[in-house]
Amino acid sequence: MSVLGRILMVEDDAKDVELTLTALEEYNLANEVVVVHDGDEALDYLYQRGQFKMRTGENPAVMLLDLKLPKVDGLEVLQQIKSDEKLKMIPVVVLTSSHEEKDMVASYKLGVNAYVVKPVDFHEFVNAIKELGAFWAVINEPPPGSVKKN
Amino acid sequence: MMQWEPRLPRALPAIQQYGLAILSVAAALGVALVLRPSSLNSFADPLFLFAIAITAWYTGPGPTVFALVSSFLIVDYFFIEPLYTLRMTTEDIPHFAIFAVFASVVARFAAVRRRVEQDLLRSRGELENEVAERTQQASLLNLTHDSIFVRDMDFVITYWNRGAEELYGWTPEEAVGKRSNDLLQTAFPAPYEELRAELLRSGRWEGELRRTKSDGTEVVVASRWSLRRDEQERPAAILETNNDITERKRWEQEISKLNLELGKRTAELEVSNKELEAFAYSVSHDLRAPLRHMSGFTQLLQKHAASRLDDKSQRFVTVIQESAKRMGSLIDDLLGFSRIGRAETRKALVSLEQLVQEAIAEVRPETGQRKIVWNVGALPALYGDRSMLRLALVNLISNAVKFTRTRPQTEIDIGCSGGKEDQVVVFIRDNGVGFDMKYANKLFGVFQRLHSSEAFEGTGIGLATVQRIAHRHGGRVWAEGLVDQGATFYLSLAHRAEPNL
């Protein structure tokens, strides 16, 4: 993972990763994505440790976070990020299969920036991902210290 | 309570008292005059002393002094030389002094005797009063249903009322004189010394005792003790009032057993509710993901292989996609349905009229260019869970919109029809395709449908959800309809003034 990405995607399901990347490709955003597969890896990436020891210091412009993850789950990752002075400014979008109100309330309480339920229908899914990518990676001005392509 | 008057000789009126004094002195004078010729002059003094004594005995100090003075003058006039004059010689002075002393002593003695006698009579009267009062009280104690007995400080029973006889089975004759502990085999809730200490400190004790009746059965009594002290303030007796609470104790035990079971059942239910929640959670997560993949990859297939797929294959791919989508909405509806069963209702005052307007606004996008006449009547506000009630109304209204789709002009009436005082009944009437009343009982079951999904789409969960919401609001849902004549759905809800009933 030597390429610096502006989008950090935390997703354990390879098929979801593929569908999401396909959707982002249509907007030419796919090569700006770093994919990690569980909460532990996500934190390693953000804290530049383990396999991400060598990466340069900038934070991603946005983080797409699944909730149901192996090892460290999405809510724990979110809590870590939002309670860390250096990381709390990173915009975090929860991208999950679950309609559960409980999860939604917990995420907003922890300070999530957006909460998106993945639509079953592929058209809707592609649209949702495209809009998300466009908004957070292009339209939105990320906080200082983030990687953004000029 | 009646008062017994002490039987005292009634004091004579003043005039009669003086009359008696005059009479007795006059009688003494008469007898003395009759006896004088026989030169029995020495009878005069005792006769007058006797008259004074009688006067002192029966009258007060005034007449006595009157009798004394008049006797003195009469004796001087009639019986002391020189006769018939009040003059007296110096040699008569000792005589009169002795007479005066004697007369005073007699009068004093008579008066004291009389007072003592009066005191005696009075205290006898008081005693009689108290005896009568006590007797009456004792007979009143017999009237009460409470069991009452009195025991001395060594447990010996001194009084035993009819209530005690009824409760424990022994007659007063059998019980009085026995030690209550031995007779009743009392089991105290704490060492007796502690109970006694409290009784001596505060004068009373209350508690539950276990005792044995004359027929050998056990009773639990609520017992109240009051301490009676004698005039020297020494503990003298204990009055015990007992009530049989055996039955009550049995019920209490029964209730606490039931409560325990209820607690256990509640805990079990909570556990299974948690499991159900965990199940629903993983359904909502894990079942939707494969569907998304099916939909996504068939879509990608369609795109990549578009040129190589014939029309038939294209249609197959579309069917797979539609099925995946339908499965997705089924899962979503089922989860919503299960959530209504699990979620706590959050009751607040909600305006049904406003909810109906919101529901109409929500289904309006489905109506497109159709011509729909809405007749919405007045609806009350009530305590309920806003989001649940809104969902119920959206389901019913969207049903009405759906099943009138084939009509050139749709009419939907919404209003409040009469119900009982504590119930609100909302009706939603449409002029749609209606239904056959013989299937009315199938309307509200999960996945039960009266129309094919080709004719009218839907998951078959909407009305089941409405029914669940109605039940959670102390009401129900039912429908009336005729094939091709429209349908009316009724939703009844408990109408309460208080939020948490």
Closest CA to B360 of B386, B395, B387, B408: B395
The Cβ-side half-sphere exposure at B1, using a 13 Å CA radius, reads 12
Question: Looking at the domain assignment, is residue A144 inside a domain?
Answer: no
- Using the beta-carbon criterion (under 8 Å), do B292 and A125 form an inter-chain contact? yes
pTM of the model: 0.53
Report how far residue A107's alpha carbon sits from residue B113's, in angstroms, rounded to the nearest whole number: 108
Query: What is the number of helices (H) and of strands (E) in chain A?
Result: 5, 5
Which CATH number do you get for residue A61? Answer: 3.40.50.2300
309-338 in B: which are within 8 Å (CB) of A? 321, 324-325, 327-328, 332, 335
Question: Looking at the domain assignment, is residue A77 inside a domain?
Answer: yes
Shortest CB distance from A121 goes to which of B284, B293, B295? B295
* Number of structural domains in chain A: 1
pLDDT > 90? residue B262:
yes
Q: Assign B133 a pLDDT band (cuts: 50, 70, 90).
A: confident
Shortest CB distance from B289 goes to which of A16, A100, A123? A16
- Using the beta-carbon criterion (under 8 Å), do B281 and A100 form an inter-chain contact? yes
pLDDT > 80? residue B42:
no
- For residue A120, the chain B residues in CB contact (below 8 A) are 288, 291-292, 295, 324-325, 327-328
Query: Is beta strand B347-351 parallel, antiparallel or unpaired with respect to B477-481?
Result: unpaired
pLDDT of A1 reads 33
| Mean pLDDT, chain A, integer | 83
Mean pLDDT of B291-319: 87
- For residue A15, the chain B residues in CB contact (below 8 A) are 289, 293, 296-297
Report how far residue B252's alpha carbon sits from residue A1's, in angstroms, rounded to the nearest whole number: 72
B interface test, pick of A97, A104, A122 with most B CB neighbours within 10 Å: A122
Residues of chain A in Cβ contact (below 8 Å) with chain B = 13, 15-16, 19, 22, 68, 96-102, 118-123, 125
pLDDT of B1 reads 42
Question: Looking at the domain assignment, is residue A145 inside a domain?
Answer: no
Please list the residues that pair with B468 across neighbouring strands: none
pLDDT > 50? residue A46:
yes
pLDDT > 70? residue B3:
no
Report how far residue A29's alpha carbon sits from residue B98's, in angstroms, rounded to the nearest whole number: 152
Q: Are B204 and B227 in contact (CB under 8 A)?
A: yes
Question: Looking at the domain assignment, is residue A146 inside a domain?
Answer: no
- Using the beta-carbon criterion (under 8 Å), do A118 and B292 form an inter-chain contact? yes
Q: Residue A93 is part of which domain span?
A: 7-138
Question: Looking at the domain assignment, is residue A150 inside a domain?
Answer: no
Angstrom distances, CA of residue B361 to CA of B248, B357, B385: 59, 6, 20
Shortest CB distance from B300 goes to which of A13, A22, A68? A22
| Structure token pair of residue A79 | 């809590």
Question: Looking at the domain assignment, is residue A1 inside a domain?
Answer: no
ipTM value: 0.76
pLDDT > 60? residue A4:
no
Q: Are B238 and B226 in contact (CB under 8 A)?
A: yes
pLDDT of B41 reads 61
What are B157-193's pLDDT values in tens digits?
999 988 899 999 999 899 999 999 889 999 898 898 8
- Using the beta-carbon criterion (under 8 Å), do B295 and A125 form an inter-chain contact? yes
Report how far residue A44's alpha carbon sits from residue A80's, in angstroms, rounded to the nearest whole number: 12
pLDDT > 70? residue A3:
no
What are A56-69's pLDDT values in tens digits?
767 888 899 998 88
263-282 in B: which are within 8 Å (CB) of A? 280-281
Question: Looking at the domain assignment, is residue A31 inside a domain?
Answer: yes
- Using the beta-carbon criterion (under 8 Å), do B321 and A19 form an inter-chain contact? no
Closest CA to B443 of B418, B405, B470: B470
pLDDT of B499 reads 57
Who wins on pLDDT, B440 or B491?
B491
| Mean pLDDT, chain B, integer | 85
Question: Looking at the domain assignment, is residue A40 inside a domain?
Answer: yes
- Using the beta-carbon criterion (under 8 Å), do A16 and B328 form an inter-chain contact? no
pLDDT of B110 reads 77
